[in-house]
Amino acid sequence: MKLIKSTITALGLLFTVTACAGNKESKNQNMKGENMEIVHLTKAEFLKKVYNYEANPNDWKYEGDKPTIVDFYATWCGPCKALAPVLEELAKEYAGKVYIYKIDVDKEEELAGAFGIRSIPTLLWIPQSGKPTVTQGALPKPELKKMIDDTLLNSK
């Protein structure tokens, strides 16, 4: 009887873990799909998609093919939480024109340190050509749109 209970418990646990893994997988597919415009980056992805500061420590060389906003944030940060839905709206509005990336400073401490991030949220504005600029704090949507139009898209 104990063997049957143990087997049933183990199978139940296996099904639960498998179901959760399936949900995680489908979530990851949505993040890579067309509807998911905001992408969470690791240091390795940042080096490939944005700027390889290890290979080019003295020269800024943007690796992307569209202007980019990089949001340095933390999950516990109130202003970061307030900014997140605004960035999601902007990602939809500017889909195909601008990339919006997010970097969790707690998970990517080395990357945050490389850019001297001391306050969050910090946004790194990267035009297709030229040097990036930095803003700090949760700016309102109209100001963010103006920055995208003027700084990234040059559509004054």
Question: Which residues, in sequence order, are CB contacts of 46 under 8 Å at separation 6+?
Answer: 70, 101, 103, 108, 111
pLDDT value for 45:
95
Give me the DSSP letters along 90-126: HHHHTTTT-EEEEEETTT-HHHHHHTT--SSSEEEEE
The amino acid at 103: I
For position 137, what pLDDT does the model report? 94
Catalytic position from the list 41, 70, 80, 117:
80
41, 70, 74, 77: the active-site residue: 77
Whole-angstrom distance, CA of residue 136 vs CA of residue 67: 19
Distance, in Å, from the CA atom of 140 to the CA atom of 23, rounded to the nearest integer, reads 34
Q: What was the pLDDT predicted at 155?
A: 57
pLDDT string in tens for the chain (156-residue length): 444 433 344 334 333 333 333 333 333 333 343 445 799 999 999 999 999 999 988 888 999 999 999 999 999 999 999 999 999 999 999 999 999 999 999 999 999 999 899 999 999 999 998 899 999 999 999 999 999 999 999 854
- In the residue annotation, 20 being an active-site residue is answered as no
- pLDDT at position 57, please? 86
Predicted pLDDT at 58: 87
Contact present, 130 and 64 (Cβ < 8 Å): no
The alpha-helical segments, DSSP class H, found in the chain are 2-32, 43-49, 78-93, 109-114, 141-147
E strand or H helix at 136: strand 133-136
Q: What is the model's pLDDT at position 135? A: 96
Residue where the block lists tokens 């893994």? 21
- Cα(49)–Cα(52) distance, rounded to whole angstroms? 8
